[in-house]
Structure 1
Amino acid sequence: MNFQRYENVEKFASRVTPFLEENEDKFSLFLGVLERIKAGDYKNPYMATIEEKGELLAIFQMTPPHPFNIIFVDEDQLTTCTDLCITELVNHSIQVESIISVKEWAVLFAQKWQEKTGGKYSLLMDQGLYRLDQVEESLEMSPGTWRYATAIDALLIEKWYSQFEQEAGLASTAPVEIRKRVKTMLDGKEVFLWEDQGEVVSMMKKSRPTAHGVTVGLVFTPAEKRRKGYGRTMVAAVSKELLREFEFCVLYTDMLNPTSNKIYQEIGYQKLIDSVHLKLETI
């Protein structure tokens, strides 16, 4: 069994992409980030595989400070691959602050990490990954229309971005970094807004396009505009628009929020897998 770290993203991509594309919806996060690495959007990415006799057993990817993404190709080798990966990370002093993966895989990895390092792990987000192929046509829609966000919306989006992080329990991003991210999103026409009678009442964004799919995220409606169906209506309407270009949409939900999970299912999103984001702490 061989642990192979890659410095060249093209070589890494050529090795792992065929498997990832067979599971394009399930591993859309990994694929989307890989495309951004290839585009030069991340510096010093961590890319590695575990192989045996030419067979791919596991795939790993990290773009600090973002989580370590883990995929196991051969689940029969789950424990052995986990042990080998953790040994490599520890021996080469690779700092991993958090991990994200299929729930079963991530929990096993975190438990093994705890045994190996004496550190601790904790839950950051208990997630469900959902896929949409067709919007439910009978869905009741709230008043208003969607539009692409533009530079004149930047300050509002920056404010809502910060509020989204707070409500989701995510680490707060510095205002200057939020400003950069919002500009990038606006330049890429990634942000959508819902307007009712000229007032912007909700937002969402698209990200990480793959060969056949796209991710929906950053769905946010300010507290004073909730319980009017704006978020659900916007996600339904924009997802339908995205399906003109892509075969499917995916999104991650907070499994501890039954309301949002119910809303997405009403739109037509169907659960693919349980996913989890875990924080790792070393002594």
Structure 2
Amino acid sequence: MPSDDWYLIDDVDEFLARAGEFLRSRPAPHTVHLTVTENLRSSGSHIYGDADPEFGVLPEKGGAREGETADTGVRAAFFRTPPHTLNPTPLTEDEADALAALLAGQRRELPGVFADRDTAAAFAAAWQRHTGAEAVLRERMRLYRLDELTVPQPVPPGRARVAGEADRKQLAQWFEEFCRDAGEPLLRDAQEWADERVERGDVMFWQDPDGTAVAMAGATVKVAGQVRVVGVYTPAHLRGRGYAGAVTVEVTRAALASGAEEVLLFTDLANPTSNGLYQRIGYRPVSDFAKYDFG
């Protein structure tokens, strides 16, 4: 398959005009693409970095081509918000190789790739072939979908509440700590992230009976009927007391109450505690993902 079958785009609205229906047709495997493009559309193209975002669409043979805006006939797509990783939808090995050849030929600098397990492995191998760069598996993740919500017992003392104006500093601090613990770069300025979350009202704290916040969990905006639970965090000295599970249950309830048809979340497969917790709450595996770093 010739590499020029990929149609490259630098505008999120044009990308969604071409690929939006394709992404919405399978919201679970495309959850990251849907939420990131919605954030770019609503909050501006530089919320994840100073450089312009990059997009690509792979039409079906006979599908939409240059000069057309139809969003039918798409078989794959990708986005990237420099300086962060490439994020393709599922690709065959030939499609992954063609995309790697195209981007390498344009001398694009990629720090890595995040995708479903097979696509990530195929693209990483192709990137090595075309650039000579080393590809190292950094993280294996599992996508879960809520089946039936179950409240783990016993529920810890305290209650959930929405993080508000007085919590901006705490939110920013915990966002930085969450990213550090996960070994991830800050995708957003921590204070800007906190300000946006307060405005949206989509982060909850679990607070103890004294009113002290002891854990947090957030949710993405609802897109294509799905919401993803994100940023579940408990400070190290407070872990093992059920706070993360309790606040995740409440964020999940809020997502369902908002009309979400699917509630999703990612876990690190290297963390058996969180994987076990979310299954006890009622989440069931959908598919595995992987992140590779390029050296």
TM-score for the superposition, normalised by structure 2: 0.87
Q: Secondary structure at the match of 1:194?
A: strand
Aligned match for 2:28, one of 19, 25, 28: 25
- The answer as to 2:271 corresponding to 1:257 is yes
Q: Secondary structure at the match of 1:241?
A: helix
Match of 1:190 in 2: 202
- The answer as to 2:142 corresponding to 1:121 is no
Deviations 1:148-180 (A, max 9, x none): 112211222222222212221223679xx2122
More strand by share: 1
Match of 2:74 in 1: 56
Q: Secondary structure at the match of 1:85?
A: helix
- The answer as to 2:220 corresponding to 1:207 is yes
- The answer as to 2:251 corresponding to 1:238 is yes
Aligned match for 1:161, one of 167, 171, 175: 175
- The answer as to 2:242 corresponding to 1:229 is yes
Between 1:97-106 and 1:130-139, the stretch displaced more is: 130-139
Q: Give the Cα–Cα distance (whole angstroms) in 1 for the partners of residues 208 and 43 of structure 2.
A: 38
Give the deviation of 1:224 after TM superposition.
1.9
Aligned match for 1:41, one of 40, 44, 55: 44
Q: Give the Cα–Cα distance (whole angstroms) in 2 for the partners of residues 34 and 45 of structure 1.
A: 10
The one-letter code sitting in structure 2 at the alignment partner of 1:86 is A
Query: Where do 5+ consecutive residues of structure 1 fail to align?
Result: none
Q: Give the Cα–Cα distance (whole angstroms) in 2 for the partners of residues 138 and 196 of structure 1.
A: 17
Distance change (3 Å), C-alpha of 1:99 and 1:105:
same
Deviations 1:51-89 (A, max 9, x none): 2222433211111223211113xx5xx122112211211
Q: Secondary structure at the match of 1:130?
A: strand
Quick one: percent identity of the two aligned structures? 27
Query: Where do 5+ consecutive residues of structure 2 fail to align?
Result: 47-51, 64-72
Match of 1:102 in 2: 116
The one-letter code sitting in structure 2 at the alignment partner of 1:236 is V
Instruction: Verify the 8 A CA contact 1:121 1:278 in the aligned structure 2.
Output: yes
Looking at both structures, which has the greater relative contact order when contacts are Cα pairs under 8 Å and sequence separation is at least 6? Answer: 1
Instruction: Verify the 8 A CA contact 2:145 2:263 in the aligned structure 1.
Output: yes
CA RMSD of aligned residues (A): 1.9
Q: Give the Cα–Cα distance (whole angstroms) in 1 for the partners of residues 254 and 202 of structure 2.
A: 13
